[in-house]
Amino acid sequence: MMGAMQQLEAHEVSLHKVFSSDYDFRIPDYQRPYAWDVEQAVQLLSDLEEALERGTGEPYFLGSVVLVKTKGDARAEVIDGQQRLTTLTILLSVLRDLAEDPDLRSDLGRLVTEPGDKVLGLAPKPRLTLRERDAGFFRTHVQAVGSVATLLALDERTLPTDAQKSVLRNTAALHRVLGDWPEKRRLELVRMLGERTFLVVVSTPDLDSAHRIFSVMNSRGLDLSPTDIFKARIIGALGPEESQESARRWEDAEEALGREDFADLFLHLRMVFAMRRAERELLREFQDQVLSRYLADRAGSFVNDVVVPYADAYARIRDADYKAAHGAAKVNAWFRRLQQIDNNDWRPAALWALRHHENDPVWLDRFLRALERLAASMFVRRVYTTPRVTRYAELMRELDAGHGPDARSLVLTETEKADTRARLDGDLYLATKTRKYVLLRLDEMLAGRSGVSYDHPVVTVEHVLPQNPKAGSRWQRDFTDEQRAEWTHRLANLVLLNRAKNSYAQNHDFAEKKAKYFTGRHGASLFALTSQVLHEDKWTPDLLRKRQRRLLGLLAEEWDL
Q: Which residue has the higher pLDDT, 49 or 227?
A: 49
Q: What are the residues whose beta carbons fall under 8 Å from the beta carbon of 78, sequence distance 6 or more?
A: 25, 26, 27, 28, 31, 65, 66, 67, 85
Cα 452 to Cα 337, 426, 525, distances in angstroms: 8, 26, 15
Residues 534-552: what's their mean pLDDT? 92
Measured distance CA(320)–CA(333) in Å, rounded: 7
Would you say residue 218 has pLDDT above 60?
no
Residues 117-134: what's their mean pLDDT? 83
With cut-offs at 50, 70 and 90, classify the pLDDT of residue 346: very high
Handedness of CA 547, 550, 554, 555 (dihedral sign): positive
Residues 402-421: what's their mean pLDDT? 96
Q: Which residue has the higher pLDDT, 468 or 552?
A: 552
For residue 2, the model assigns a pLDDT of 37
SS3 357: helix
Domain positions in the chain are 2-218, 224-319, 428-558
Residues 448-470: what's their mean pLDDT? 74
With cut-offs at 50, 70 and 90, classify the pLDDT of residue 248: confident
Would you say residue 528 has pLDDT above 90?
no
With cut-offs at 50, 70 and 90, classify the pLDDT of residue 6: very low
For residue 70, the model assigns a pLDDT of 83
Would you say residue 521 has pLDDT above 60?
no
Q: Which residue has the higher pLDDT, 538 or 232?
A: 538
Would you say residue 3 has pLDDT above 50?
no
Residues 448-456: what's their mean pLDDT? 58
Share of the chain above pLDDT 90, in %: 56
Measured distance CA(274)–CA(292) in Å, rounded: 12
According to DSSP, the β-strands at 60-68 and 197-204 are: parallel
Q: Which residue has the higher pLDDT, 53 or 312?
A: 312
Q: Which residue has the higher pLDDT, 211 or 56?
A: 56
Highest mean pLDDT out of 35-44, 415-424, 468-477, 515-524: 415-424
Would you say residue 127 has pLDDT above 70?
yes
Burial readout 311-335 (b: 16 or more C-beta within 10 A, e: otherwise): bbbbbbbbebebebeeebebbbbbb
H or E stretch at 204: strand 197-204
Residues 389-409: what's their mean pLDDT? 96
Lowest average pLDDT, out of 351-355, 398-402, 513-517, 535-539, goes to: 513-517
Q: Which residue has the higher pLDDT, 407 or 536?
A: 407
For residue 236, the model assigns a pLDDT of 72
User: Mean pLDDT over all residues of the chain?
Assistant: 87
Residues 295-314: what's their mean pLDDT? 90
Would you say residue 285 has pLDDT above 60?
yes
Side chain identity at residue 10, one-letter code: A
Residues 265-277: what's their mean pLDDT? 93
| pTM (predicted TM-score) | 0.71
For residue 450, the model assigns a pLDDT of 56
Measured distance CA(494)–CA(439) in Å, rounded: 8
For residue 284, the model assigns a pLDDT of 76
Residues 100-119: what's their mean pLDDT? 89
Highest mean pLDDT out of 450-464, 478-492, 518-532: 478-492
Side chain identity at residue 364, one-letter code: L
Q: Which residue has the higher pLDDT, 512 or 221?
A: 512
Lowest average pLDDT, out of 145-159, 268-282, 345-359, goes to: 268-282
Highest mean pLDDT out of 34-43, 48-57, 236-245, 503-512: 34-43
Rounded (5°) CA angle 420-426-432 = 85
For residue 209, the model assigns a pLDDT of 63
Residues 343-370: what's their mean pLDDT? 97
Lowest average pLDDT, out of 387-401, 451-465, 542-556, goes to: 451-465
* Residue in 216, 284, 221, 288 with CA at minimum distance from that of residue 258: 221
Residues 271-300: what's their mean pLDDT? 84
Q: Which residue has the higher pLDDT, 30 or 199?
A: 199
Would you say residue 19 has pLDDT above 80?
yes
